[in-house]
Amino acid sequence: MSFRHIQDRGVKHVLLAGASVSIVVVALIFLFLFREAVPFTSEPGLGQFIGERWRPTSMQQVGFGLLPLITGSAMVTLLATLIAIPFGVLGAVYIAEIAGPREREILKPFIEMIAAIPSVVLGFFGLVVLAPLVKTLFGLPIGLTGITGALLLAFMAVPTIMSISEDAIRSVPRSYIDASLALGANRIQTIFKVVVPAAMSGIIASIMLGMGRVVGETMAVIMVTGNAVQFTFSPLVPIRTMTATIAAEMGEVTNGSAHYQALFWVGIVLLFVTFAINLVALRVLKSYGRA
Amino acid sequence: MPRLRLRVGVCLLAVASLANLAGCSPKQERPAGGAGAAGSAKSGSMSLNIKGSDTMVHLLTAWADAFMKTHPEAKISVTGGGSGTGIAALLNGTTDICASSRDLNEDERQTAESKGLALQDMAVARDALSIVVNPQNPIAELTLDQIAAIYTGSVTNWSEVGGPDETIVVASRESSSGTYMFFQEHVLKTKDYAAGALLLPATSAIVQTVSDAKGAIGYVGLGYAHEAGAKVKSLGVKAAVDAPAVMPSNESVLSGAYSVSRPLFLVVSREPAGATKDFIDFCLSDEGQAIVEDNGYVSVK
């Protein structure tokens, strides 16, 4: 056996070990989550989660209704995604198809840098700048609302959406564009009738990944959404997300109490939501790989 | 059990070496009683962790600074996070002293008992909660019942308590905060906060919210209300409709006239000894209590 051969095998085993460790760790995380959460199923019971009263520390009657938390998370996530899509996708189209090479060299890293801003810094910005703005803009009594959170999260999702969409758009075969132009379509027609549809699965995947980032974000939402646990579909009032609830309450609970277990269930719900979103994104990315 | 034995061993070693350094016999150095012996396990090192109440962070930092000036060998670290967080840390053994702005509840006492801890709490200062509103709000005083009605959500507009037609924005602390619990117990009479109440992560966020929103109301410690200055307006509190309105101040808290006030505690998990004891003694000394007053809290003496 040559030295080269041994080296190859060594590297292979190291990589295999690395991959296996991460799989085991993920499995352990799942196991841990469930181990802490499971006692809740018998006492006080999963039926507790249906309802709109999340009052785990109430001195009258505790309530573990997940509805306000789920609608809070869902609303902020969907709004943030809707706001981020036009900026992310159009930005990607611009960078990939219209911007000159120098422009692209400046723009792309600049936008990707947004992703590197710590969310607590963005949260602070949201608290001091965005919230008063939202307050005056919508004439609200207070600026700490669902929409403030959504705007801030949209800002955080744009780099993800733009960067992956741009890759997808740039990998549309040159021949498509040439063919379109040869048929007499102008540049804008080519971009929106040929390039964007061809890159659509990549764009959708980028949106899903952006959504995954948004739904799990904690620090920024805790700072700007006002954290009022109320069941509402209005984005103009204070709301609370699942992540904010876990972060705000985990510190105080006694290990093993019903409240503690309930927070683990919130974590499990969150895990499944992000898992589902990522799964869809991967599926779409895969089909895009074939395109 | 082996862990405990190890601890006692370490403690004896530490005491012995200290005694050698000091040049006196170990017997004199060793504190009497089982609890004392266990407590001195921590006294070998002079580093203290204090965790808990956000209300007390300023005060504890001031105490720690003053204490470390006269005890250069002591290293004290102070962190906030809320009284509940501090108590949980104390029960889990991750802090030496817990700062709490509320009494321990039944659950916490039971947990401590099941872990064999001999909890001790000492009132080291008093704090008044200022009820603060936006300076533009013409309201100057409220009764306790009106405050409770606002926080439980049965009153939602300032016009219902004699103010302008303006939606009330209710600002509260997080449920991990001792202030939140104290307020719920003594002002809301254990009723639930309104669902629309903002649960803000820190006192500074309450000040920020109240100074930004015309219709907002919040509660903050007396010291913070002083610090916030003209950004917020403290309200006079009336115990009953026909009672006089009392403004929060050192005098009104000491005399008992201001009703929204509470003791602030330091809690330890066993009989204090060594650095822990020195520090608590310092907090309760005249010098320590002068620091209390300097920081806008009320002395317990």
- Three-state DSSP class for residue B105: coil
Phi, psi of B238, deg, nearest 5: -110, 130
ipTM of model over 0.90:
no
Find chain B residues with C-beta within 8 A of A67's C-beta.
none
Rounded to the nearest angstrom, the minimum Cα separation between B228 and chain A is 16
Return the residue in A127, A223, A254, A263 with the most chain B beta carbons within 10 A, the one to mutate for interface testing: A254
pLDDT of B140 strictly over 90: yes
Q: Scan for tokens 């002002």, then name that residue.
A: B187
To the nearest whole Å, the CA of A64 is away from the closest chain B CA by: 13
Q: Give me the phi and psi of B267, to 5 degrees please.
A: -120, 135
- A-chain residues near B92 (CB < 8 A): 255
A143 to B214: CB separation less than 8 angstroms, yes or no: no
Instruction: Tell me which residues of chain B have a C-beta less than 8 Å from any C-beta of chain A.
Output: 81-82, 84-85, 88, 91-92, 107-108, 111, 166-167, 169, 174-176, 181, 184-185, 190-192, 195-201, 205, 208-209, 212-216
Q: Could you tell me what percent of chain A has a pLDDT over 70? A: 98
Task: Answer yes or no: is pLDDT of B23 > 70.
Answer: no
pLDDT at position B223: 80
Amino acid (1-letter code) at residue B179: T
Interchain CB distance below 8 Å, A252 and B216: no
* Confidence at residue A242, expressed as pLDDT on a 0 to 100 scale: 95
Find how far residue A105's CA is from the centre of its chain. Answer: 26
Q: Which of B166, B174, B198 sits opposite A144 (nearest CB)?
A: B198
Confidence of residue B45 (pLDDT cuts 50, 70, 90): low
Judged by CB atoms closer than 8 Å, whether chains meet at B190 and A60 is answered as: yes
pLDDT bin (cut points 50, 70, 90) of residue A153 is: very high
Structure tokens at A40: 């809740």
**Terminal alpha carbon distance of chain B:** 42
Check: CB of residue B107 under 8 Å from CB of residue A257: yes
What percent of chain B has a predicted confidence (pLDDT) above 70? 85
What residues of chain B lie within 8 A of the CB of A227, using their CB?
Answer: 174, 198-201
Decide if pLDDT at B144 tops 80. Answer: yes
Confidence check: pLDDT of B27 > 60 = no
> Across all residues in chain B, what is the average pLDDT?
83
pTM: 0.78
Contact B82 A251 (CB under 8 A): yes
Chain A residues closer than 8 Å to B174 by CB: 227, 248-249
pLDDT surpasses 80 at B61: yes
Q: Which H or E element spans position A64?
A: strand A63-64
User: What are the backbone angles phi and psi of residue A56, rounded to the nearest 5°?
Assistant: -70, -20
Q: Which segments of A38-190 does DSSP mark as H helices, in order?
A: 67-93, 101-114, 119-125, 131-138, 146-170, 174-182, 187-189
Percentage of residues in chain B having pLDDT higher than 90: 47
Average pLDDT of chain A, as a whole number: 91
Q: How far is A158 from chain B (nearest CA, A)?
A: 27
In the predicted model, is pLDDT for residue B28 greater than 60? no
DSSP SS3 for A60 = coil
Which candidate from B192, B201, B216 shows the least CB-CB separation from A55? B192
Q: What pLDDT shows up at residue A15?
A: 94
pLDDT band at A289 (very low <50, low <70, confident <90, very high): low
Enclosing H/E stretch for B78 = strand B75-81
**For range A161-188, the mean pLDDT:** 93
**Between B57 and B32, the higher pLDDT residue:** B57
Answer whether A143 sits within 8 Å of B205, measured CB to CB: no
**Residue B13 in this model has a pLDDT that exceeds 80:** no
